Amino acid sequence: MVRNHRRTAAIQEASAILSDCVRRQLIIPRDAPILGIDVGEDFLDLAIVTPNRARLSYHRLPLEGIAKPVATSIGDRIAAGPPIDLRGGVALVDSPRAPRDVDCSGPKMIARRDAPSGRLIDTALRDLLRRESKGTISMFPTPRAEYFAGCIANSTCKPHLRAIGEELLASVIKVRSRKTDGPIPGGTFTRFMLAGFGVFPALEELGVCVCEAYPDLMMRLWSEGELLPPKKLRGEALRVRASICARLARIVGVREFRIPTTLDEADAAVLALSAAASSIAGALIELHCPAEGRFAVAFARTLTR
């Protein structure tokens, strides 16, 4: 009886989580540009498919020296990159929108009441993949706001990352006037997400619909069963990823296509190209949790349910 009760409680909890995260088809207008953005601490790597789907271009934008307000400053740099109007476009960004205990549904980030131990989007994504592709995904948990407060307060934090965090997270963290030294609890691997937090409002100011996405997931969904080498095997990893991007470009009908020459370019390209290809098949799915934002998954075929 105890075991059955626990199983029932777990099912009810999962159902409640999924009910708070809406799944729907993401439709991209045929004349809308599609952006894939790989986020780094110092640069944004953009891959942009033009509205007529004839060309894919790459743009590397530096983040150093951004001004306040940071969203407008980042948006100005993004708009200055491609010679096309981005308004009405769709962007897939390799970064979460906010810390997992922060509500980003309003104009300003606020502390999230009864924040879950893990993101609802992540739970919904795992359920979606299990149902539709019988696959799993390993995701590094999005840290809480306090982790980013520690990053900002550390003397090694880069000025542009500190500027983004201090402005966008001002209502949910206590900005420390004194800088600290020593290691950051949790390490610096996810510190790049501070840059990502600035990208979402920057694109929205430009009139772009923005979704979070995982490049490696898109690579796997469009790999046709080919093993995806880990990125530490840089040469082989780039070769396989570039091959997947080239196949996607053919599916979309991109005539002006350059093979990505870096892993960052490949990640940006697969986001833009898989969204374009999946949209053609009516298989581009959006998971929407108001407090956490939107997440896009580009399946290669329409879903069975």
d(CA 284, CA 92): 12
Amino acid present at 205: E
User: What pLDDT does residue 1 have?
Assistant: 42
In 3D space, the residue among 85, 76, 100 whose CA is nearest the CA of residue 293 turns out to be: 100
Integer Cα distance of 95 and 9 in angstroms: 32
How many other CB atoms are there within 10 angstroms of residue 171's CB atom?
A: 11
Q: Is the preceding omega at residue 69 within 30 degrees of 0, hence cis?
A: yes
Question: Which band of pLDDT confidence, cut at 50, 70 and 90, is reported for residue 19?
Answer: low
At residue 134, the pLDDT reads 72
Q: How far is CA 75 from CA 98, 104, 133, 184, in A?
A: 18, 18, 36, 29
- The CA-CA-CA angle for residues 263, 169, 268, to 5°, reads 15
Strand 293-298, strand 34-39: pairing? unpaired
Amino acid, res. 141:
P
Question: CA–CA separation, 171 vs 196, rounded Å?
Answer: 18
User: What is the phi/psi pair of residue 56, to 5°?
Assistant: -120, 130
pLDDT, one tens digit per residue, over 51-80 is: 999 999 999 999 999 999 999 999 999 999
Give strand pairing partners of 23: 287
CA–CA gap between residue 220 and residue 149 (Å, rounded)? 34
The SS3 assignment for 222 reads coil
Mean pLDDT, the chain, rounded, equals 90
User: Distance between the two ends of the chain, CA-based, in angstroms?
Assistant: 33
Cβ atoms of 144 and 101 within 8 Å: the answer is yes
Band (9; pLDDT cuts 50, 70, 90): very low
- Residue 50 DSSP symbol: -
- Copy the structure tokens of residue 142: 């999005």
Residue 260, amino acid? P
Q: Say whether 208 sits in a helix, a strand or coil.
A: coil
The pLDDT tens digits of the residues spanning 107-155 come to: 999 999 888 889 999 999 999 999 887 777 877 889 999 999 999 999 9
Q: Which residues contact 206 (CB under 8 A, 6 or more apart)?
A: 75, 78, 79, 86, 87
Q: Which amino acid makes up residue 108?
A: K
